[in-house]
């Protein structure tokens, strides 16, 4: 449940910032900041959890209580974020038309000739029709853009693979740990997210034409990810597995940050 809240809140917060800034030139930096913040938060949570478990300060059930309190706190905190004055569909910026009047002013002039009840009905119907047309146009634009489709396909496959790796990597560590030594899973997860946060933040400061040269980089990056997973499968040394997992997670977060910002730019 917390995992679902975590990912859904990431999407919501990223969308909020896109709407707040409303300038595609900053989308890459925004995406990198959101990713870095999210991963740094995971780093702190993993570090705290590992410290609590290693020092036997609290029981495992207390980690659940800490998660509930943290989630509740950020939910309340989100209520005090600055309000977005406009959105893509229902509160759009009104652009001036050729005669110098905005669309809002033109509609207002036409509406003044109607009765108050007609004004309310007409404005609501027109607004719904406008939103419907915008959604249809955006749908057609998004699914006819081969660049966006290509990035979205990579996004789907990469996230699916990453979730599978994250689910079963703990089982692999347990299986490889034949000596029954104390596992450092929490510490490794912390380093994994910290390195990913560093990489995601660095991407935001790289001025590069990903649309022109990104295919080569993504091909090489995906190939490296596949090699890392292949080596992880056949490796039987716990500490080597830890290092490979950190390298895999760092590269994955870098590529995912680029993909997210590119889709937001060109969709």
**For residues 190 and 150, what is the distance between their CA atoms, to the nearest angstrom?**
31
Whether residue 20 lies inside any domain: the answer is: no
Confidence of residue 19 (pLDDT cuts 50, 70, 90): confident
Query: 140 lies in which domain range?
Result: 34-40+124-266
Confidence of residue 3 (pLDDT cuts 50, 70, 90): low
Whether residue 105 lies inside any domain: the answer is: no
Place of tokens 């853009």: 145
Does residue 220 surpass a pLDDT of 90?
yes
Whether residue 242 lies inside any domain: the answer is: yes
Q: Quick one: what percent of the chain has pLDDT higher than 70?
A: 81
Which of 15-29, 54-68, 102-116, 147-161 shows the lowest per-residue confidence on average (mean pLDDT)?
A: 102-116
Q: What is the mean pLDDT of residues 13-33?
A: 78
Whether residue 198 lies inside any domain: the answer is: yes
Confidence of residue 243 (pLDDT cuts 50, 70, 90): very high
Confidence of residue 58 (pLDDT cuts 50, 70, 90): confident
Average pLDDT, the chain: 78
231, 5 contact by CB (below 8 A): no
Residue 237: both structure tokens together: 């040394």
Whether residue 15 lies inside any domain: the answer is: no
Whether residue 107 lies inside any domain: the answer is: no
Q: What is the mean pLDDT of residues 26-37?
A: 82
pLDDT value of residue 121: 55
Whether residue 69 lies inside any domain: the answer is: no
Most confident among 105-114, 173-182, 205-214, 217-226 (mean pLDDT): 217-226
Confidence of residue 246 (pLDDT cuts 50, 70, 90): very high
pLDDT value of residue 90: 56
Whether residue 257 lies inside any domain: the answer is: yes
Q: What is the mean pLDDT of residues 106-125?
A: 52
| 54 or 224, greater pLDDT | 224
Q: What Å distances lie between residue 83 and 20, 26, 28, 128, CA to CA? A: 8, 19, 22, 23
Among candidate residues 1, 67, 11, 4, the one with its CA nearest the CA of residue 34: 11
Give the number of domains in the chain: 1
């Amino acid at each position: 449940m917390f995992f679902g809240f975590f990912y859904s809140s990431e999407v919501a917060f990223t969308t909020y910032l896109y709407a707040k800034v409303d300038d595609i030139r900053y989308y890459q930096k925004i995406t990198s900041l959101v990713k870095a913040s999210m991963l740094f938060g995971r780093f702190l949570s993993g570090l705290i959890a590992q410290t609590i478990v290693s020092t036997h300060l609290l029981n495992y059930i207390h980690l659940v209580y800490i998660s509930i309190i943290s989630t509740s706190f950020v939910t309340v905190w989100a209520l005090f974020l600055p309000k977005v004055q406009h959105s893509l569909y229902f509160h759009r910026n009104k652009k001036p038309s050729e005669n110098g009047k905005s669309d809002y002013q033109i509609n207002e002039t036409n509406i003044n000739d109607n009765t108050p009840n007609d004004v309310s009905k007409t404005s609501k119907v027109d607004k719904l029709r406008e939103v419907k047309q915008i959604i249809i146009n955006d749908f057609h634009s998004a699914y006819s853009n081969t660049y966006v489709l290509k990035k979205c396909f990579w996004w789907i496959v990469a996230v699916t693979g990453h979730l599978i790796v994250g689910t079963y990597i703990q089982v692999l560590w347990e299986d490889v740990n034949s000596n029954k030594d104390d596992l450092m899973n929490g510490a490794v997860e912390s380093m994994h997210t910290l390195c990913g946060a560093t990489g995601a933040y660095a991407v935001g400061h790289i001025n590069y034409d990903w649309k022109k040269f990104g295919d080569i980089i993504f091909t090489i990056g995906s190939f490296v990810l596949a090699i890392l997973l292949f080596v992880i499968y056949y490796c039987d040394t716990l500490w080597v597995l830890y290092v490979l997992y950190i390298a895999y997670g760092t590269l994955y977060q870098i590529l995912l940050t680029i993909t997210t910002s590119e889709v937001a730019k060109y969709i």
